[in-house]
């Protein structure tokens, strides 16, 4: 049996939704774009700064020959809303268990299945690795680029996380990239609350609400207003995307927001202790910046919710917090 077919079979057994394979050549297609972003101050503190490491897998794993890219859908069927008086919304990427953990577990499971039939070297990454995950996913045929910059899979849409395994395996056949299927649709560009999507396939990350909810740097007043009640992440450009309608739902139960129900209690966030916070919310990806950032966002959300009926109550809540 071909090693490629064996890996695909095992990926199905361990409930990996999408899998693709690519070689270890540098990601030359996006080098100029990465340089432009850097020169134009359109990058974030969450990215690897060394552009050669971003594009060349061999600078991370010198004997890398192939890359197995996987994706997990987090588009779970869940419609409950919590009963808090003031809700702060979480993007779907922060529902359920932190995807870094779920993804790493899946990749490790897959690696252990491969090592049963072949001795090999590998390194696993999801989100926090040096390479550009989306470009790897694109190269490995996982999906095409949407104008909102997201990788869109034909079956599952764009609510998918990406992970990859650098390996020294010789894979018999690689997948091929897919052309964008956005056509003349530009709903995501129109819907972006801060016009961060200023051109198709082009995001100014520092204006993206997702970034604003995560950065510890000062937020400009006009952007604070645009956050509305979002306290972690932003789904707007994916929610309006027609390619996310009638797609296959996620069966990854880890992403069901059993604790938060997809939102947080803004009053609780103002007073909860660090220890309580870690115990109750430490499992979610949205906690990675710590309680302080969510508390800051909760205050912004409360100010955005203020109206003549709740003004006194909210002002009292915010006093001295």
The residues binding ligand B12 (CB under 6 A) are 30, 33-34, 37, 44, 46-47, 91, 93, 126-127, 129, 132-135, 145, 148-151, 158, 160-162, 180, 201, 203, 205, 208, 210-211, 214, 233-235, 237
Strand partners for 67: 22, 166
CB of 76 to ligand B12, least distance (A): 14
CB of 71 to ligand B12, least distance (A): 7
48 phi and psi, to 5 degrees?
-60, 130
H/E/C letters for each residue in 152-167? EECCCECCEEEEEEEE
CB of 150 to ligand B12, least distance (A): 4
11 phi and psi, to 5 degrees?
-60, -35
Closer to ligand B12 by Cβ: residue 86 or 163: 163
Residue 127 annotated to the active site: yes
Closer to ligand B12 by Cβ: residue 66 or 214: 214
Q: What Rg value do the Cα atoms of the chain yield, rounded?
A: 21
Burial of 160 (0-12, 13-18, 19+ CB in 10 A): buried
293 phi and psi, to 5 degrees?
-65, -40
CB of 81 to ligand B12, least distance (A): 18
- Of 5, 39, 127, 186, the catalytic one is 127
Q: Give the list of residues 6+ apart from residue 128 with CB closer than 8 angstroms, or none.
A: 100
Closer to ligand B12 by Cβ: residue 160 or 223: 160
Closer to ligand B12 by Cβ: residue 124 or 210: 210
Q: Which residues are catalytic?
A: 127
């Amino acid at each position: 049996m071909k090693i490629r077919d064996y890996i695909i079979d095992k990926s199905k057994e361990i409930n990996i939704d999408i899998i693709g394979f690519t070689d270890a050549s540098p990601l030359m297609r996006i080098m100029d774009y990465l340089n432009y972003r850097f020169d134009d101050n359109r990058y974030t503190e969450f990215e690897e700064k060394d552009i050669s490491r971003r594009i060349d897998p061999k600078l991370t794993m010198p004997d890398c020959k192939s890359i197995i890219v996987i994706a997990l859908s987090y588009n779970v069927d869940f419609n409950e809303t919590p009963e808090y008086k003031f809700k702060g919304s979480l993007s779907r990427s922060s529902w359920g268990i932190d995807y870094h953990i779920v993804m790493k577990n899946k990749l490790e499971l897959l690696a252990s299945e491969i090592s049963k039939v072949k001795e090999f070297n590998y390194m696993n990454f999801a989100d926090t690795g040096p390479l550009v995950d989306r470009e790897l996913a694109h190269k490995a045929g996982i999906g095409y680029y949407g104008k909102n910059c997201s990788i869109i899979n034909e079956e599952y849409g764009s609510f998918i996380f990406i992970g990859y395994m650098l390996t020294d395996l010789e894979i018999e056949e690689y997948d091929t990239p897919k052309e964008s299927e956005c056509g003349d649709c530009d709903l995501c560009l129109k819907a972006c609350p801060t016009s961060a999507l200023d051109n198709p396939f082009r995001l100014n990350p520092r204006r993206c609400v997702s970034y604003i909810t995560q950065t510890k740097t000062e937020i400009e007043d006009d952007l604070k207003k645009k956050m509305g009640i979002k306290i972690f992440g932003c789904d707007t450009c994916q929610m309006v995307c027609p390619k996310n309608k009638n797609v296959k739902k996620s069966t990854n139960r880890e992403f069901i927001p059993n604790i938060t129900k997809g939102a947080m209690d803004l009053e609780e966030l103002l007073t909860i202790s660090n220890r309580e916070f870690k115990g109750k919310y430490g499992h979610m990806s949205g906690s990675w910046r710590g309680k302080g950032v969510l508390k800051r966002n909760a205050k912004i959300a409360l100010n955005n919710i203020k109206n003549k009926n709740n003004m006194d109550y909210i002002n009292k809540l915010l006093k001295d917090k």
